[in-house]
């Protein structure tokens, strides 16, 4: 993944600086290496970048979207409620290292903040980032179950009752949406599978 990161740096930066790009990779890699990240690791970023390829043609700012995918989980502490704002701060710091314009920095941070998933129908590039972040929901049932188990592992500090209540609320909110995915591409191809996976997990929690 390091080479993919360096490639983005070369496309994003106003001026070439291999030492900067390598140093930022070390920081980024370290952020994603905390042992509690059973799911939200660099593998999640890698899967997101792969999913993004089928949506990239819709992007208004391709490099900004890719940067947001790299940084959208740079801070991940399940016990805290302010992960997204802290990620946005880090995204801004990284973007400034590349001498991005203020407008582009704001765009990148807005994309990162979109992964709060608190807007039912985001617009523009935010639609792409939201769908990429939720791409795992469309996985085959066995892979989805592995994802759900990894999320549970990240919340191992919570007892079963608290976990079931919180997770059920998330699943129910997703199922209540008119569309799981914002883009037509993902909605048409994967919306049904995602809805089936969510409903199946919710049923398993309510039956326990």
Check whether 145 has a pLDDT greater than 80: yes
- pLDDT tens-digit map of 128-143: 999 999 999 999 999 9
pLDDT of res. 208: 61
pLDDT of res. 205: 92
CA distance 68 to 115: 10
Please state which of the ranges 11-20, 29-38, 57-66 shows the lowest mean pLDDT.
Answer: 11-20
> What is the band of 53 on the pLDDT scale with cuts at 50, 70, 90?
very high
- pLDDT tens-digit map of 152-176: 999 999 999 999 999 999 999 999 9
Question: For the CA atoms of the chain, what is the radius of gyration?
Answer: 17
Query: In whole numbers, what is the pLDDT of the chain averaged over residues?
Result: 94
Check whether 207 has a pLDDT greater than 90: no
Residue reference for tokens 């042992």: 35
Q: What is the pTM of this model?
A: 0.93
CA distance 40 to 32: 8
Residue closest to 132 by CA, chosen among 178, 185, 93: 185
Residues in CB range of 38: below 8 A, 6 or more apart: 150, 151, 153, 154
Helix, strand, or coil (residue 120):
coil
Check whether 123 has a pLDDT greater than 70: yes
pLDDT of res. 206: 82
Check whether 90 has a pLDDT greater than 70: yes
pLDDT of res. 118: 79
CA angle, 111 then 86 then 139, to 5° = 55
């Amino acid at each position: 993944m390091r080479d993919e990161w360096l490639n983005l740096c070369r496309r994003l930066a106003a001026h070439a600086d291999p030492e900067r790009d390598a140093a930022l990779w070390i920081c980024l890699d370290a952020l994603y290496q905390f042992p509690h990240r059973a799911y939200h690791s660099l593998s999640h970023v890698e899967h997101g970048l792969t999913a993004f390829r089928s949506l990239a043609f819709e992007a208004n700012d391709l490099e900004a979207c890719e940067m947001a995918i790299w940084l959208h989980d740079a801070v991940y502490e399940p016990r805290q409620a302010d992960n997204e704002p802290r990620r946005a701060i880090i995204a801004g710091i990284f973007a400034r290292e590349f001498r991005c314009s203020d407008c582009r920095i704001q765009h990148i941070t807005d994309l990162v903040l979109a992964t709060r998933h608190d807007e039912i129908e985001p617009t523009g590039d935010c639609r792409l980032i939201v769908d990429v972040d939720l791409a795992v929901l469309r996985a085959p049932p066995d892979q989805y179950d592995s994802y759900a188990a990894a999320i549970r592992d990240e919340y191992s500090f919570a007892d079963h009752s608290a976990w079931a209540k919180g997770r059920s609320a998330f699943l129910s909110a997703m199922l209540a949406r008119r569309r799981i995915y914002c883009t037509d591409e993902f909605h048409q191809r994967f919306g049904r599978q995602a809805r089936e996976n969510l409903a199946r997990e919710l049923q398993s929690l309510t039956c326990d």
